[in-house]
Every structure is written in C-alpha cells, then in structure tokens.
Homo-oligomer: A and B are copies of this chain.
Amino acid sequence: MSIDPLSATFAALADPTRRAILARLAKGETSVTELAQPFEMSLPAVTKHLKVLERAGLITRSREAQWRPCRLAPKPLKDANAWLEHYREFWEGSFDRLEDYLADLQGQKRPARARKVPTPKKPKRGAHT
C-alpha cells in the first residue's frame, strides 16, 4: 500500500461503500454489524473496508466486550481538505497564469496561441549547449 498518508486517505475515499460507512460514522460510533446492515455484502467484506479506513487513519476502533466499535477520525479528512484547498482558487475561477490560457482558449483563432505549448525540447537538435 501507499507509504504516504495522503495517498492512503484518497485511496480509502475512492470507494462508495467506504464513503457510506464514513457518512454513517459521522452520525455516531457503531458496531461492525450495524455498519454492515445497509450493504448487500458479507461481513468479512465490511471488515476489509474497515481495515482500509483504519490504515488510512480515517477511523479508530475501540473494544467494548465483543464489539469493536468504529469512530470517525478527523485528521485525514482535514489533511485531504488542505490538499484540495490548495486548488480552490483554481476551481473558483481565478488562477495564476491559468486565466492566461483560458482567455487564450476563447480566442484560439488568433495566432497568438503559439506560446501555449512550451515546446519543451524542440530546438535541441542543434542548439542545446
């Protein structure tokens, strides 16, 4: 599995069953059986999902007699959000040089768009000193 926590978090979130589990957990701590209730899958399958969530640090588990209740843990969600936040300016419409080539898109009939592609190493053939 992924070494870095952020990858583990996103990987854990990349499954509808696990997201549903988190949604349910946001309403309060529950047992595995309770958690498995709304799904069509077997209990072991749910256990595996919980393990993924636990490895990602998204849930913590305690022991209460023979129950292992799960509780939502905030940190990974917070970290994931922090990463996304980093791009907020982007999806909200105002960017760095992004608006530059967005504007460019509008007027892509103009020959001015020639600078769009950085042309990384084209002139390497004879002038790369």
Residues of A within 8 A of B (CB): 2, 4, 6-11, 13-16, 19, 22, 26-31, 33-34, 37, 64-65, 67, 69, 71-72, 74-75, 77-78, 80-81, 83-85, 87-88, 90-91, 95-98, 100-101, 116-121
A-B contact pairs, 30 of them (CB 8 A): A2-B14, A2-B16, A4-B16, A6-B19, A7-B14, A7-B15, A8-B14, A10-B13, A11-B14, A13-B14, A14-B14, A26-B87, A26-B90, A27-B97, A28-B97, A28-B98, A29-B117, A30-B117, A31-B119, A31-B120, A34-B118, A64-B117, A67-B117, A69-B117, A71-B101, A74-B90, A75-B91, A77-B90, A78-B91, A81-B91
Please determine whether A77 and B69 come into contact, CB atoms closer than 8 angstroms: no
| Measured CA separation A91–B72 after assembly (Å) | 10
Q: How far is the CB of A116 from chain B (nearest CB, A)?
A: 6
Q: How far is the CB of A110 from chain B (nearest CB, A)?
A: 14
